[in-house]
Amino acid sequence: FGRRAHLNDAVPSTQDVLRELAEQGAPEGTLVIAEQQTKGRGRMGRNWVSPAGKGIWMSLLLRPNIPLHQTPQLTLLAAVALSRAIARIVPLEIGIKWPNDLLVDGRKISGILLESAAEDERIRYVVAGMGISVNLEEEDFPPEVLEKAISLRMAAGRPIDRTDIITAVLEEFERLYELYAARGFAPIRALWEAHAVTLGREAILHTPQGEIVGVPEALDELGGLRVKLADGTVRTVYSAEIGDRT
């Protein structure tokens, strides 16, 4: 991964740059990195703060040989890859909040956005967007974001080399992607569950179909989250935002 890398100064979003390259036939593993994004986007239509030179804003092209309904598995794979890569370079306790937010001390340090192009159940390509807040300082975050976000620099108390992290992410991603191709989702699921902070704690899940209150218990074989409700029934959720029950 990353043998073909396109480095940009400022772009609206690396997702769109890579999507264009994908449409032109770019191979799997193609990487787009930007120093700054002027319209970085997050999950659920949110903005993603991407100031110049302070973080890693990048998108990786995948052409997986799986049906579309298995893409949640790749989302979880990406979260495991990033958390292992970061922990290799900076000794921090990183927890994964379902599906793929990376947290340090309960605050978000990195976010992942997978966007796929498919024809019916056949995937044409997946653009895996990764944002890592590496050297942002408190004043780089808008006040409403700051209480929920943190950078590696803030957490570690020293500036962190972005290149070391990028190299580690590409290595971990490629290794896990090969493991997934060879052995399927089971080993990825076990690694994800070992890093998860979401399991076993009552939470509110804001799903497109409404709110659910329950205790997330495990992943299902597709990468959905199995949630036990108060009446003892179990629901599986594939898209949601999780809030703490306080």
> Taking a C-beta distance cutoff of 8 angstroms, is the pair 92, 132 a contact?
no
Residue 57 touching ligand BTN (CB under 6 A): yes
Indicate which single residue of 79, 112, 149, 160 sits in contact with ligand BTN (rule: CB under 6 A). Answer: 112
> Taking a C-beta distance cutoff of 8 angstroms, is the pair 112, 75 a contact?
yes
41 annotated binding-site participant: yes
Residue 131 touching ligand BTN (CB under 6 A): yes
43 annotated binding-site participant: yes
Indicate which single residue of 22, 29, 30, 48 sits in contact with ligand BTN (rule: CB under 6 A). Answer: 48
* Listed ranges 39-47, 157-165, 188-196, 202-210: which one lies at the site for ligand BTN (CB under 6 A): 39-47
* 10 vs 229, beta carbon nearer ligand BTN: 10
37 annotated binding-site participant: yes
* Listed ranges 11-19, 77-85, 135-143, 158-166: which one lies at the site for ligand BTN (CB under 6 A): 11-19
Indicate which single residue of 21, 22, 30, 41 sits in contact with ligand BTN (rule: CB under 6 A). Answer: 41
Instruction: Please spell the DSSP secondary structure of the chain, one letter per residue.
Output: --SSEEEEEEES-HHHHHHHHHHTTPPTT-EEEEEEESS-B-GGG-B----TTTSEEEEEEE--SSBGGGHHHHHHHHHHHHHHHHHHHS----EEETTTEEEETTEEEEEEEEEEEEETTEEEEEEEEEEE--S--GGGS-HHHHTTB--HHHHHTS---HHHHHHHHHHHHHHHHHHHHHH-SHHHHHHHHHHBSSTTS-EEEEETTEEEEEEEEEE-TTSPEEEEETTS-EEEESS-EEEE--
189 annotated binding-site participant: no
Residues 152-191 that bind ligand BTN (CB under 6 A): none
User: Closest approach of Cβ 246 to ligand BTN, in Å?
Assistant: 22
* 195 vs 228, beta carbon nearer ligand BTN: 195
* 15 vs 151, beta carbon nearer ligand BTN: 15
228 annotated binding-site participant: no
Please report, as ranges, the residues that interact with ligand BTN according to CB under 6 A: 13-15, 37, 40-43, 46, 48, 50, 57-59, 101, 111-113, 129-131
